[in-house]
Amino acid sequence: MTDHTDRPHSAAGALPGTAGEPRTPVDHHVAVPRDIASPLSAGFVTAVVGFSSSFILVLQGLEHVGASPTQALSGLIAVTLAFSVGMVWLAARTRVPMTMAWSTPGSALLMTTAAPEGGFPAAVGAFILCAALVALTSVVKPLERFVLGLPTSLTQGLLAGILIPICVAPFAALATSPVEAGAMLAVYGIMLLVAPRWSVPAVLVVALGLSVRAFAASGEAWAWRPPVLEFTAPTFDLQSALSIGVSLFIVTMAAQNLPGIGVLRSFGENPPWKASMVVCGATSAASALFGGHATNLSSLSAAIAVGEMSGKDPRTRWWATPAAAVVYVILALAAGSLVALMSRSPAGVVASLAGLALLPTFTTTARAALTDPAYAGPNAVVILIGASGLTVAGFSGAVFAFLAGLVLHGVVRRRLLAAEPKTPVAVTE
């Protein structure tokens, strides 16, 4: 029998509140595990996979909403440093192997959103609004209920629609850069069969090789680019707040924070909901002042740090978190040189890398959106509106897709409830 309830996120094991807080006092005595190599290696893999698979999305997303190349680089560095500090604090306080990341779905959203009239400062103001909403989710019950009440299939359909224009880029690039795009697609396909987790990092290696070749051909001397943080004073306006800030909040909560809590609980951990949201909000706000868009709990690579790769003893797996943070900081410090190299890449390489990095996420979200026959039609509409590139009065297609989804889901839910057989009430004499 098909379940037509289209359950909200809270039904998927991601309920916040007191149930998500640690049930027993945390022993703050720091004990180094005997098998220290396991959590350290898991942390290394977590950071390398997390950074390499989507850093280019952060840069492209920020530039799409008005950031200059130096502001986008600053945002990448700031958001990486911010969530590295945040996840070490959470893990040290809770002894839970919690990892954080930038909002990959948020980057995809920015890549499909028009730059605000107020330029990048207006986008930064929207980032700060998103950060405030994330933090308030932990204490404002109506906001918490709104987030948890969003139908999972609707939010997954929204994200799938946002991803479509990005994910088709590698195939479109075959027309203009057949050798480069073809090589990246071939490596991606082979790695999916051999080592799926490393498919995107392998494509990054190919992209870097192509960039090195182009850089050498340019005759420009390579030099170390030290990391530089560039402050951006925020401005606030209603249009940016709704089209960027609220949309970024919804996709970050629905596609990152709630699934991140769910992954940790699936391994028997008790991540603290309130503390997590406060830390995510605070680190997001801090990084926003230097161009970062949003930090959140990791959902894509969380299973690496919390699983058996971090060791057999669950009590010492949290050491994977500081190990990952150290690697993330090193990668952030090297980001300037890495970006300078990628800037010389042949046409189509960067877009192909971004599209292939998000292809697994698109597959997961599209499947989740279209599984239930009762809601497949409404969610298909959500996907198509999100992918349409529609922009009206500065509001992106993601906003209209979300609103249309709410209306259509409400209509279908009312129809299903009306079709349910009424249970007769027994009348006693």
Instruction: Give pLDDT tens digits along the chain (429 positions).
Output: 444 445 555 534 444 444 444 443 455 455 555 667 888 888 898 898 889 878 999 999 999 999 999 999 999 999 999 999 999 999 999 999 999 999 999 999 999 888 999 999 999 999 999 999 999 998 999 998 888 888 889 988 988 998 899 899 999 999 999 999 999 999 999 999 999 888 888 998 999 899 888 888 877 777 778 889 999 999 999 889 988 999 999 999 988 898 888 888 888 888 999 999 999 999 999 999 999 999 999 976 777 888 877 778 888 888 999 999 999 999 999 999 888 888 788 888 988 988 898 888 899 889 989 999 999 999 999 999 989 888 787 777 888 999 999 999 999 999 988 887 766 555 554
Rounded to the nearest 10 degrees, the angle between the axes of helix 152-167 and helix 397-419 is 140
d(CA 283, CA 76): 13
411 alpha carbon, distance to own chain's centre:
30
DSSP string, 346-390: PTTHHHHHHHHHHHHHHHHHHHHHHSSHHHHHHHHHHHHHHHTT-
* Strand, coil or helix: 101: strand
d(CA 334, CA 290): 17
Q: What is the pLDDT of residue 34?
A: 65
* 99 touches 302 (CB < 8 A): yes
Quote the tokens at residue 388. Answer: 């349409």
DSSP 8-state assignment for residue 241: I
* Segment 361-402, tens digit of pLDDT: 899 889 989 999 999 999 999 999 989 888 787 777 888 999
User: 416, 341, 329: which is closest to 82 by C-alpha?
Assistant: 329
Q: What is the pLDDT of residue 424?
A: 59
Q: For the chain, how many residues are written? A: 429
d(CA 333, CA 113): 28
Give CA angle at 78 (73, 79), nearest 5°.
Answer: 100
Q: What is the pLDDT of residue 305?
A: 83
Q: Where are the domains of the chain?
A: 35-176+224-344+361-419
pTM of the predicted structure, to 2 decimals: 0.82
DSSP string, 402-419: HHHHHHHHHHHHHHHHHH
- What are residue 50's phi and psi, to 5 degrees? -65, -45
* 398 touches 161 (CB < 8 A): yes
Does an H or E element contain 392, and which? strand 391-392
